[in-house]
Structure 1
């Protein structure tokens, strides 16, 4: 298997302390400065954070972007369903921003990035799906890709039917070659019980900040870690 390197990353969540890590944004309300105001006002906080981080890691607006989210913007979808039940007309703009690829679509419009923009939902296996897709692009000759993993709590009405989660997003640039400061990623197969908690963006943030040594996906039975650097 081709070596895979983490070349750079950014993350956002108000549920962690930065601990001196400048790549983690813990503000309650991301600025969304990377998106013009007409588009920015349509995004939720998570979408604004993702667009700002993408603008930093994709400064040339020429990277392939892969985005995974288990639940997407469930609150917006639920509001539309309530409106339809009450006989209200469906808003095309609201519907357009409720689909799973809405955030990367807005980013593509704002930045002018015309490369492939892919959205993934995998019932709890989002991180493993992202890694598999990234490896596919890299094996096909791409020097690097950007992956985005974001999620937020599901609407309260459905909280009992979904794992507890916190608002968080993480954006990583993965490549085939080590640039200065890059870390090599090791992926292995492991035996895990399917009842094991699924990976969420906050878990990946903790892993990137060395608060976790390994992250593992029970659905794919794969784990990832940064091998120790030999002296």
Structure 2
């Protein structure tokens, strides 16, 4: 299997302290400056944060983007369903922004990035799916790409049917070579783990608050190791 190295990262959540880590944005409302105002208005807070992180990690806008989210923009989808139930017409623009690849699409339009954009939902195994897809792209000859993992609480009406979550988004630049201060992503089988990984778990791991993360569905775990010279 192709080695995978974490080359850089950015993250956003108002539910953690940055503790001097410049790569973590803890603002309640991300600026969304990477997207023009007309497009920015269409994005929710996580969408704005993701676009800013992608711009920071890929100023040349020439990398593939893989974006995973378990629930996507559930609030927008639910509002449309309520409207349909009341007999209201469905807005094509609103529907277009409710789909799973909406944020990646807005980023692509704003930045002019014409590389592949892939949206992933995997019923709680989003992180494992991202890593599997990344290995595939790297094995196919890509030198580096961007992985995005974001989610927010599901609408209150459905909270009892989904694991509790907090708004967070993380973007990682990964590649096949240990450039700069890269760390090697080491995978283990049959790890301990009892709940699906969420973006906040990945942020805690990147901040050094967790040594290992694990996906119980795929029965795999990951840890970061320094690159030996």
User: What interval of TM-score do these two structures reach, taking the shorter chain for normalisation?
Assistant: over 0.9
Q: What SS class does the counterpart of residue 10 from structure 1 fall into?
A: strand
Q: What SS class does the counterpart of residue 90 from structure 2 fall into?
A: coil
For structure 1, which runs of at least 5 residues remain unmatched after alignment?
Answer: none
Matches within 5 A, 1:28-43: 28-43=28-43
Q: What SS class does the counterpart of residue 226 from structure 1 fall into?
A: strand
Q: What SS class does the counterpart of residue 160 from structure 2 fall into?
A: helix
RMSD: 1.2
Q: What SS class does the counterpart of residue 227 from structure 1 fall into?
A: strand
Count of aligned positions: 229
Matches within 5 A, 1:60-209: 60-192=60-192, 196-209=194-207
What's the counterpart of residue 218 of structure 2? Answer: 220
The CA distance in 1 between the partners of 2:80 and 2:225, in whole Å, is 47
Q: What SS class does the counterpart of residue 110 from structure 1 fall into?
A: helix
The CA distance in 1 between the partners of 2:74 and 2:9, in whole Å, is 26
Q: What SS class does the counterpart of residue 225 from structure 2 fall into?
A: coil
For structure 2, which runs of at least 5 residues remain unmatched after alignment?
Answer: none
Q: Shift of residue 192 of structure 1?
A: 4.7
Q: Shift of residue 148 of structure 1?
A: 0.1
Q: Shift of residue 35 of structure 1?
A: 0.4
Q: Shift of residue 191 of structure 1?
A: 4.7
Q: Shift of residue 227 of structure 1?
A: 2.4
Q: What SS class does the counterpart of residue 196 from structure 2 fall into?
A: coil
The CA distance in 2 between the partners of 1:145 and 1:119, in whole Å, is 14
The CA distance in 2 between the partners of 1:32 and 1:146, in whole Å, is 18
Q: What SS class does the counterpart of residue 60 from structure 2 fall into?
A: coil
Structure 1 runs (4+) greater than 2 angstroms displaced: 227-231
1:10 correspondence with 2:15: no
The CA distance in 2 between the partners of 1:95 and 1:168, in whole Å, is 23
The CA distance in 2 between the partners of 1:96 and 1:151, in whole Å, is 18
Q: What SS class does the counterpart of residue 204 from structure 1 fall into?
A: helix
- TM-score scaled to structure 1, two decimals? 0.97
Q: Shift of residue 180 of structure 1?
A: 1.1
